Structure 1
Amino acid sequence: MLRFAAVGIDHGHIFDHVNGLLGEGAEFAGYCPETSVPALMEQFRKTYPDAKPLDRDAIFADQSIDVICTAAIPRDRAGIAIRAMQAGKDVMVDKPGVTTSEQLEEVKGTVERTGRIFSVCFSERLCVPSAVMAGKLVAEGAIGRVVQTLGMGPHRKSLFSRPDWFFTPEAYGGIINDIASHQVDQFLFYTGSEKGEVVASSVGNFGTPQSPAFQDFGEVLLRSSKASGYIRVDWFTPDGLPTWGDGRLTILGTEGYIELRKYIDIAGREGKDHLFLADKSGVRYTDCSEEPLEYFAAFVKDVRDRTETAMPQRHVFEVCRLALDAQAKAAVIASNPQD
């Protein structure tokens, strides 16, 4: 039986990792209680009351632990992953997996030397049933050849619940590298592109004057030999919306298009995971809320069989590279919200 531990409980995505692995029959060996968000740790303890708090060094030294999950402060994720891989463990990392190009090269080198798995759990595709269904439809040719993806990732700031590192670009990696890595992953996946390039990108601080270095808006234009992609991410979800963000994805094909309303159908149907498909036969709607997730079962298989069915390693590295490149090249279009 696969055994896993959690090291770095600083973001709520750690619950996706733990729940996903538990759902595939893995054993939760324990967790390191170090955190920058005490309220999150308290929620974690209540959610998994039988899990054991363990010393971090002891976790890495325990040869019976196969996998380390981490949703640490973004700047610390690469270091935790490298240490885990050097200790003979595979790794499941929250996005962004890295915050600098230097970290990416160090992770690549460690993967090559150790043969371990460095998997970034891009939850907006891998943990969203409608996104899983969209992948199946695209693979079946339901909309023909994919021409473009248009991904939007709005988020609510929730300022009073955020730790200090949330407002420091060096810590979270910038809005494009942090949030838009989701949409970069989706662009490569749905267009079937192994590589891409950044055509243009921009960032800004339009509405957070108390934190001048913070970025609350970002956009990216991507291109590959197969398709193009546009991404918009922001921290402007209004308080009146009954969810943290109206995340959407449109996949344009030569014979139709798919739109996902992942978390809410605003002023429409109840619930999440709404998929709309338009083609020559008409328009149809699918409630994808019961569509099973596949990533965690595939990851467990990969750990056991040393395969890459959950996510090719080259895909992970290319998403990281593109997100870092877009962040580094971004033009600043608003830097003083008080102007």
Structure 2
Amino acid sequence: MAFMGFRHGHILSVLKLAQQRPDTEVVATCEEHADTRNALIQGGSVTITHQDYRHMLDSVPCDVVAVGDSYGRRGAIILEALRRGIHVIADKPICTSLKELDAIRTLAREKRLCIGCQLDLRDNPKAQTMRQVIQSNRLGEVLAISFTGQHPLNYGTRPAWYFEKGMHGGTLNDIAIHGIDLIPWATGHHVRRIEAARSWNAALPEVPWFHDGSQLMCTLDNGAGVLGDVSYFAPSNFGYKLPQYWRFTVWGKRGVLEFSMTTPEVILYSADNETPETIPLAEGTPGAYFDSFLREMRGETTGLALTTDEVLRSSRTTLLIQDAADNGRTKVDITEPA
């Protein structure tokens, strides 16, 4: 297993998982950006073996490339690996354009390669509890979902590439993919239509092209409505501690379910009970996205926490939402590509 790019810290989680497993070996690591490379070397967190990606692929045989470069570079990096017959796992988003995603999908299918992604909300105990309650029919038919995944922007300390033109790819594509991936997994219903989406510069005049505000409105295939806000509006001094950090509220015909990643409970307000019910949490499955990626590579098809098809579908839906926001499109019906 080789690693390409460490410009987003999320990829270090994949590195840690790979180093902990007896069935994976890290054979090479590449960082082309000099300042990032020097910081990693000085910090001692990663041993960098290469400074050129193609040279690494030419000189070191590997079955998998893990990608954590800046968002705008990921698509090309992934495509280069796929052309060489190498499986890929990446931090989200895997790319920043529909054209890149179509090329990734085509190559992965032609060469029968797997695409993994760090969509780790699925592995969280509270998210798994939400799924169990919905699929047990305690809520009844899902009518509406609201989710917020607001982040602190941390302008001045967040990596500078975020604010370079062409590198970020949009806040919806950056953040909303977690919610867009989680909802079909939990409910069994996919996004059928993008009713509207908005992305705008609300509070960062220093970088007028960066859109820190991002909201969406979608309809699921059962008619349920989805509202989402993944803006960079959280005060930096609170970090990721606000209750609006990955808060999901699900309304069903028989009750309401709610949880947040920063609160300890999943609460059910059932039509059958006059008092709120605290639902016992699932155990959670840390790192299941990585384990499932490796199992899919080996040809397994059952019991996977996340699959290549799901990664590609969630990525495509989120890119279509970003496109709707960027171009003022409304009532965009989503159909699966052939």
Rounded Cα–Cα distance in structure 1 between residues aligned with 2:327 and 2:191? 26
Rounded Cα–Cα distance in structure 1 between residues aligned with 2:75 and 2:326? 26
C-alpha displacement of 1:59: 3.8
Change (3 A) 1:52 1:175: closer
Rounded Cα–Cα distance in structure 1 between residues aligned with 2:60 and 2:236? 46
SS in 1 for 2:235: coil
1:34 aligns with 2:32: yes
SS in 2 for 1:247: strand
The C-alpha deviation readout for 1:213-247, integer Å capped at 9, x for no partner, is: 11011111111222321110111211342536522
* Cross-structure match for 1:89: 86
1:132 aligns with 2:131: no
CA-atom RMSD in angstroms? 2.9
Match for residue 163 of structure 1 among 159, 163, 167: 159
1:292 aligns with 2:285: yes
Aligned partners of 2:117 and 2:289 also within 8 Å: no
1:13 aligns with 2:4: no
* Cross-structure match for 1:75: 72
1:113 aligns with 2:104: no
Rounded Cα–Cα distance in structure 2 between residues aligned with 1:37 and 1:149? 42
Rounded Cα–Cα distance in structure 1 between residues aligned with 2:301 and 2:55? 28
* Cross-structure match for 1:269: none
Query: What are structure 2's unaligned runs of at least 5 residues?
Result: 329-338
Kindly report which structure 2 residues correspond to 1:266-277, keeping only aligned pairs within 5 A, or say none: 274-277=265-268
* Cross-structure match for 1:229: 226
SS in 1 for 2:57: helix
Change (3 A) 1:222 1:24: farther
**Structure 1 stretch displaced more, 209-218 or 11-20:** 11-20
The C-alpha deviation readout for 1:172-195, integer Å capped at 9, x for no partner, is: 111111111222112322231345
The C-alpha deviation readout for 1:184-216, integer Å capped at 9, x for no partner, is: 112322231345221101112111011111101
1:218 counterpart letter in structure 2 = S
Match for residue 269 of structure 2 among 253, 275, 278: 278
1:11 counterpart letter in structure 2 = H
* Cross-structure match for 1:270: none
Match for residue 325 of structure 1 among 320, 324, 332: 320
**Structure 1 stretch displaced more, 291-300 or 279-288:** 279-288
Rounded Cα–Cα distance in structure 1 between residues aligned with 2:50 and 2:298? 25
Change (3 A) 1:236 1:307: same
Aligned partners of 1:24 and 1:296 also within 8 Å: no
Rounded Cα–Cα distance in structure 1 between residues aligned with 2:59 and 2:256? 49
The C-alpha deviation readout for 1:76-117, integer Å capped at 9, x for no partner, is: 111111112222221111111121111111111111211101
1:104 aligns with 2:101: yes
C-alpha displacement of 1:17: 1.9
Rounded Cα–Cα distance in structure 2 between residues aligned with 1:89 and 1:203? 35
Rounded Cα–Cα distance in structure 2 between residues aligned with 1:286 and 1:244? 22
**Structure 1 stretch displaced more, 318-327 or 52-61:** 52-61
Rounded Cα–Cα distance in structure 2 between residues aligned with 1:42 and 1:126? 29
* Cross-structure match for 1:268: none
Rounded Cα–Cα distance in structure 2 between residues aligned with 1:137 and 1:44? 47
C-alpha displacement of 1:53: 2.3
* Cross-structure match for 2:332: none
Rounded Cα–Cα distance in structure 2 between residues aligned with 1:179 and 1:238? 17
Rounded Cα–Cα distance in structure 1 between residues aligned with 2:8 and 2:61? 26
1:303 aligns with 2:297: yes
SS in 2 for 1:295: helix
**Structure 1 stretch displaced more, 253-262 or 5-14:** 253-262
Rounded Cα–Cα distance in structure 2 between residues aligned with 1:96 and 1:38? 20
Rounded Cα–Cα distance in structure 2 between residues aligned with 1:43 and 1:193? 45
1:211 aligns with 2:168: no
How high is the TM-score relative to the length of structure 2? Answer: 0.83
Percent identity, aligned pairs only? 22
C-alpha displacement of 1:14: 0.5
Kindly report which structure 2 residues correspond to 1:183-202, keeping only aligned pairs within 5 A, or say none: 183-202=179-198
Rounded Cα–Cα distance in structure 2 between residues aligned with 1:112 and 1:202? 33
SS in 2 for 1:137: helix
* Number of aligned positions between the proteins: 319
The C-alpha deviation readout for 1:46-72, integer Å capped at 9, x for no partner, is: 345xx5523533542467522211121
Query: What are structure 1's unaligned runs of at least 5 residues?
Result: 266-272, 334-339
1:260 counterpart letter in structure 2 = F
SS in 2 for 1:249: strand
SS in 2 for 1:329: helix
Rounded Cα–Cα distance in structure 2 between residues aligned with 1:147 and 1:62? 54
Rounded Cα–Cα distance in structure 2 between residues aligned with 1:328 and 1:121? 22
Kindly report which structure 2 residues correspond to 1:167-178, keeping only aligned pairs within 5 A, or say none: 167-168=163-164, 170-178=166-174
1:259 counterpart letter in structure 2 = E
